Amino acid sequence: MNITLLGCGRWGSFIGWYLDKTGHSVTIWGLSDAPQFIELRDTRKNNMLTFRDSITITDDLEQAVTGADIMIISISAQALRSFMPRLAAFPLEDKKIVLCMKGIEVNTGKRLTEIVDEFVPEKTQVGVWVGPGHPQDFSNGIPNCMVIDSRHDELKHFLIKQFSSELIRFYVGNDLVGTEIGAAAKNTIGIAAGMLDGLNLSSLKGALMSRGTREISRLIKAMGGNELSAYGLCHLGDYEATLFSPYSHNRRFGEMLVKGERFDLLAEGVDTTKALLYLGHKYEVDLPICSTVNSVIAGEITAKRGLSDLFLRSIKTEF
């Protein structure tokens, strides 16, 4: 297949490397003035990978889109809406679009596929690729399992057939609402985990995992999804990579925040937390962990007080 990666960050560049190795014709597109793109174009390397000559690297969006059977978008979730008009300027009727990104639009609470659907023809098939794993682990040959979901059944099975290898085993998602919300929300739980690490309270991560999954499952159910999706690979299955890994941006952000240190990389969970609270209000679902994380980020309470109130003081039934 001719596959174009729109975005050359750590995920976009890894996916391009991965799909090239599995036998596809790959183009990686990026912004001409982005440091990550300039490094990739000039050296065919980044801090994880070396890219074979078989991969085309371009800043020409028309070239990248026109020649693609499948387009995989891997950019910041909050930049998706502003990017879509550029993409929609090209014929997309026969294209397949896959979002390998996790987030919820902060101002509207919309899932990412909902945003894409606003700009593409009804005929265009849209799916998501989410689940556990870090490019650093995959590039070292450490396998994992991931999920592909879509409201188009034929697209899910087609993509899994095209993308599967010994490195990544794909499962078929059957709940797009739950898959997208669960995948995005794990970043908020990751920030909370980092806060626990920063306070030397890592032993409470077990409680965080249990209560966090239950909290997000209630929201998914209220939104019309299957609450069991929160216990799948999109959310709970991604906790190891998000709550424990040194590569997790969200965990690291939470840890550095409570230590009073600055984190300069993208932590999608910051905006996702705000969006989750918007959805919690809209669907009348109590989200105590999300609320606490947001209050700590905003400086309204200290992490020690907020997390203590969550896990150490209140008396509640577990279920």
Q: How far apart are CA 309 and CA 171, in angstroms?
A: 37
Q: How far apart are CA 100 and CA 72, in angstroms?
A: 7
The closest alpha carbon to 266, from 277, 252, 279, belongs to 252
**Directed axis angle between helix 205-222 and helix 288-297, to 10°?**
110
Would you say the C-alpha torsion 185, 186, 190, 196 has a positive or negative sign?
A: positive
Would you say the C-alpha torsion 306, 204, 220, 138 has a positive or negative sign?
A: positive
CB contact set of 128 (below 8 Å; sequence gap of 6+): 98, 99, 100, 112, 113, 147, 148, 149, 150, 173, 176, 179, 180, 183
Catalytic entry in 102, 110, 186, 205: 186
Q: Which token pair is 112?
A: 């990412």
CB contact set of 239 (below 8 Å; sequence gap of 6+): 132, 186, 189, 209
CA 270 to the chain's CA centroid: 13
Active site residue 186: yes
Q: Which residues are catalytic?
A: 186
